Amino acid sequence: MNNEQMQTAIRELQDAMTVMAHLEKQQSEHIRDLRQFQLRTEENLAEITDKLNGLIGYIAGRGPDRGLKQ
C-alpha cells in the first residue's frame, strides 16, 4: 500500500469516526429524552392512582345506605 492509499484510508477512517461520534451523540440524547418521558409518565400514573384511590375511598365512605345522591 503506497503513501497516497494510506492517506486515503486514514481520511476515510476519520470520516467514519466523525459520523459514528455524531450518531452516538444523537442516540445518547434520544435515550435521555426517553428517560425523561418515562419519568414524567410514572409521575403522572402515580398522581392518577392517588386520585383514583381517593375517589374510591370517598365513594366507599358514603356507605350503601346513602347512595350517590347528595
Average pLDDT over residues 16-20: 98
Confidence of residue 21 (pLDDT cuts 50, 70, 90): very high
Query: With helix as H, strand as E and coil as C, how does the chain read?
Result: CCHHHHHHHHHHHHHHHHHHHHHHHHHHHHHHHHHHHHHHHHHHHHHHHHHHHHHHHHHHHCCCCCCCCC
- 2: alpha, beta or left? (left if phi > 0; alpha if psi -120 to 50): beta
pTM of the model: 0.62
Residue 52 clears pLDDT 70, i.e. is over it: yes
Confidence of residue 69 (pLDDT cuts 50, 70, 90): low
